[in-house]
Amino acid sequence: METSNVLKNRNFVIVGQQPWDVEIGSNCKNIALELSKHNNVLYVNSALDRFTLMKGKENEKVRKRVEVIQHRIPGLIKLQDRLWNLYPDCLVESITWLKSRPLFNALNRRNNRLFAKSILKAMAELGFEDVILFNDNDMFRSYYLKEMLRPKLSIYYSRDFMLGVDYWKFHGSVLEPKLIAKSDICMANSTYLADYCRKYNPNSVYVGQGCDLDMFSNPKDTGIPADLAGVARPIIGYVGALQSIRLDIAVIAEIAENNPDKSVVLVGPEDESFKASRLHQISNIIFTGGKPPGTLPAYINAFDVCINPQLVNPVTIGNYPRKIDEYLAMGKPVVATKTEAMGIFAEHTYLATSGTVYTKYINQAIQENSATLEQARRDFAATHTWENNIEEIYKAISCFESRQPK
């Protein structure tokens, strides 16, 4: 990345929802890796809370955190050049269930103070000064960090509408707007979330989304998976977790019933609602179960058209759907539920508003598909790299800093 916006030799402290040792993919980890190409980055795991300790005493990850708290092992670990991971040496209280706002606020401030103390020790050990604090949606545990760490610049990063989830809704509806308002800059990975942040902070920008697409744009194996070898074509396919809070079971059923001449293949683990749904009684729907990530390109390659039948609700409406990039990176025609966040894909996908419209576009997508369209989809997906995402983050920081008094 050669541009005047690149920040170099700055000190970033990153806090968020997902620890470094999480198994699933994480926006924040990818951002940290990209930032560390030119800057020093301290990636801070969330502090161990009392409920997690009580519930998971035998869990290896919990035991490691306890050893750090007991000062039996170091909590600051160097991952690679210019990138460190911190396991905080503190135990915080589990307070989200509290309905008394004054009691929650008092305990939350205490949790933040313990958390900040651990971070400040790591900053001192690393010689971090004039830090840029990057907060990935951590509205409770990191609410007071701007005051307690005194960063040169504070960033609130919105990648999900957390208030659509019951866990965050009660206290988050009060705290998140205040946290957005007091942050220097708010950054979002969808236009919907950028507009949401802008209601509370005019320095709110859309910075796009990065994706790890090499596995899909340069697949090692595109052979038909054994469990799809006998499946009737054309195949309408979906890859991802089958969660009733995010996917529309009724629309999936309608797609299958309106297309009896086609197979609907759903690749991914099911939640309890999916397991109990009538989808299992529809003869042309095939559930494959969860699959190793490395095998997913072969499944997508076997599809004639890919779908993303989202429910439209507060949890999903603003989310950036990374799976769309994965589908497009393989050149596949895509039919997806129309949301504001899907607007950036409008030129390269078919956006549906109902099961009936899904059926219309699925047939249109199969009929219209061509080598030219496939290449256009690949080219578009290729613009959604982590490098480009960080370029937008650098640009937003540089623009903000250029407006500050000297």
Query: What would the 3-class secondary structure string for 293-317 be?
Result: HHHHHHHHHHCCEEEECECCCCCCC
- Residues 179, 309, single domain; the answer is no
Tell whether 5 is covered by a domain: no
- Residues 20, 77, single domain; the answer is yes
Q: DSSP state, 270? A: B
Choose among 301, 247, 294: nearest CA to 270.
247
Tell whether 315 is covered by a domain: yes
Question: Looking at residues 62-82, what average pLDDT do you find?
Answer: 96
Q: DSSP state, 391? A: H
| 8 Å CB contact between 134 and 187 | no
Choose among 188, 215, 213, 216: nearest CA to 203.
188
Question: 3-state DSSP call for residue 273?
Answer: helix
Tell whether 1 is covered by a domain: no
- Residues 164, 313, single domain; the answer is no
- Residues 254, 295, single domain; the answer is yes
Residues whose CB is less than 8 angstroms from the CB of residue 127 and which lie 6 or more positions away in sequence, other chains included: none
- Residues 242, 206, single domain; the answer is no
Tell whether 3 is covered by a domain: no
- Rounded to the nearest 5 degrees, what angle is found at the Cα of 155, between the Cα atoms of 93 and 128? 80
Looking at the structure of the chain, the number of domains it has is: 2
| 8 Å CB contact between 112 and 138 | no
Question: H or E element: which one contains 186?
Answer: strand 185-188
- Residues 34, 159, single domain; the answer is yes
Tell whether 351 is covered by a domain: yes
pLDDT of residue 25: 66
Question: Looking at residues 321-350, what average pLDDT do you find?
Answer: 93
Question: Looking at residues 198-202, what average pLDDT do you find?
Answer: 97
- Residues 100, 142, single domain; the answer is yes
- Residues 370, 355, single domain; the answer is yes
- In which domain, by residue range, is 187 found? 11-210+385-402
CATH code, domain carrying 375 = 3.40.50.2000
- Residues 203, 222, single domain; the answer is no
- Residues 169, 142, single domain; the answer is yes
Tell whether 141 is covered by a domain: yes
- Residues 54, 23, single domain; the answer is yes
Tell whether 4 is covered by a domain: no
Which token pair is 384? 């959604």
| Stronger pLDDT, 162 or 368, i.e. the higher one | 368
- Residues 293, 394, single domain; the answer is no
pLDDT surpasses 80 at 23:
no
**pLDDT bracket for residue 194 (50, 70, 90):** very high
Tell whether 329 is covered by a domain: yes
CA dihedral 269, 229, 220, 239 (to 10 degrees): -30
| 8 Å CB contact between 266 and 288 | yes
- Predicted TM-score of the model (pTM): 0.84
